[in-house]
Amino acid sequence: MSNAVDFNPIDPRIVADPFPFYKPLMHGPPKQIFLGQTTTLIACYDHVVKALKDVDNFKNEIPKDEVNAALDVFGGAKVISFADEPDHSRLRKLVQRTFSPKSVRSYTGQTQSIVDGIIEKLRGRSEFDFVSEFAYLIPLYVICWMMDMPLEHRDLYQRWARGLSAIGATEPGQKVPLSFSQAQASWRKYFSEMIDRRLKESPEEDFLGEMIDFYRQDQMSYEDAVNMMMLVLLAGQDTTAGLLANVAKNLLTHPEQLELLRGRPELVNNTVEETMRFDNSVLLITRYAGEDVNFEGTDIAGGSPLFVILAAANRDPAKFPDPDTYDITRNTDEHLGLGLGLHFCLGAYLARMENQVALASWLKAFPKMRLSNPDAPFKYRGGHRNRALTELMVRVD
């Protein structure tokens, strides 16, 4: 390996607090580790930007080999998150209207109603788990509304959604957890049945209706439609819930910032952006070298993976002054929490809106919110890709 380094991304210490371990990765050429295969770590801001923009050398599609097969959760099907050109643009173009800024603005009222309903059920409580009783529910309920999924099945959805999140801790060469496989099969069957039912009914103007229209017009296959619904759920629920919880955690552990925000509510949007920079639920994304290439002084073999560590780039002192300080007044315009370039997060505007509505709402509803036990260590699930709090107990009395 070129520029080998001692770094184990599945070390529990790194999952608990990855940021100190990222610092050595930011100096010099990109480092490499062996994780089932030689894996290149792209960490400093400029290198991350360059890698994300270089779609000729670094691919999104997962190589079809034994080591990487377990990570291809869509079984080789073309989906936006794991597709290169021309499939990526073809699929993205079909659904980009649903996730455009204009469309997302029209979802704000329904999102506010969902948040208000969740808050109403918490009123009168002196303590609750912010993760399971607030943050986790908001994106799930929004997706249910967008995709015409009956809320009376929400317990089932929550169980399946948690099963899907198990993929976040799966490493190259490992088998996919049984809980993930079972949840994936359940969701696929559920969405197939939804599509079959709607094909027999009058057209409706919602997300599922759009997928069915594309299918009827031969712009999208039946499998494309099922996979798109799976992708929206997989990509949009757990990561957004993780960010919602991280916003609360960081405000409650930085009381001077919380006090500042309560006095200046116009900083809500920037607080969400600063949390994406400082402590996002998505830590890295994976790319694969198309051919042998030397990138910034490191030799990378064709077909091998690169961990493009967005969370490290967002703490690069060469880009962000005093990067380890949580500052909701910071200029966050160029953070990389949502990616960059051709594969910029499709649901970026939706995730931002959900977080903005949720934050503004709990600030008003719970003016005395604080950690139940400020001395208790935070516990996380996930792995080197995504990382989310398992619980966040708060008092509001």
Output 203 or 265, whichever has higher pLDDT.
265
Asked whether the predicted pLDDT for residue 324 surpasses 80, the reply is: yes
What is the pLDDT, as a whole number, of residue 232? 85
Output the six-digit token pair for 176.
Answer: 């996919």
**Phi, psi (rounded to 5 degrees) for 32:** -135, 145
**Domain around 254:** 12-395
The C-alpha torsion from 71 through 75 and 80 to 84, rounded to 10°, is 80
Calpha distance 234→244 (Å, rounded): 16
Average pLDDT for 41-56: 97
For residue 338, the one-letter residue type is L
For the stretch 168-221, pLDDT in tens is 666 655 677 788 788 888 888 998 999 999 999 988 888 888 889 999 999 988
159, part of any domain: yes
2, part of any domain: no
For the stretch 23-38, pLDDT in tens is 999 999 999 999 888 9
What is the pLDDT, as a whole number, of residue 177? 76
Output 150 or 267, whichever has higher pLDDT.
267
Q: What is the CATH number of the domain that holds 377?
A: 1.10.630.10
81, part of any domain: yes
Q: Give the predicted TM-score (pTM) of the model.
A: 0.92
120, part of any domain: yes
7, part of any domain: no
For the stretch 226-260, pLDDT in tens is 888 888 887 788 899 999 999 999 999 999 999 99
285, part of any domain: yes
161, part of any domain: yes
Q: How many domains are contained in the chain? A: 1
CB 320 within 8 A of CB 330: yes
Cα–Cα distances (Å) from 164 to 40, 73, 77, 288, in that order, read 26, 10, 17, 23
Q: Provide the pLDDT confidence category of residue 317 given band limits of 50, 70 and 90.
A: very high
Average pLDDT for 119-139: 96
Calpha distance 157→141 (Å, rounded): 10
DSSP 4: B
Tokens 């079809």, residue? 64
CB 328 within 8 A of CB 267: yes
Question: Exposure pattern of 132-167 as b/e (b: 16+ CB <10 Å)?
Answer: bbbbbbbbbbbbbbbbebeeeeeeebeebbbbbbbb
4, part of any domain: no
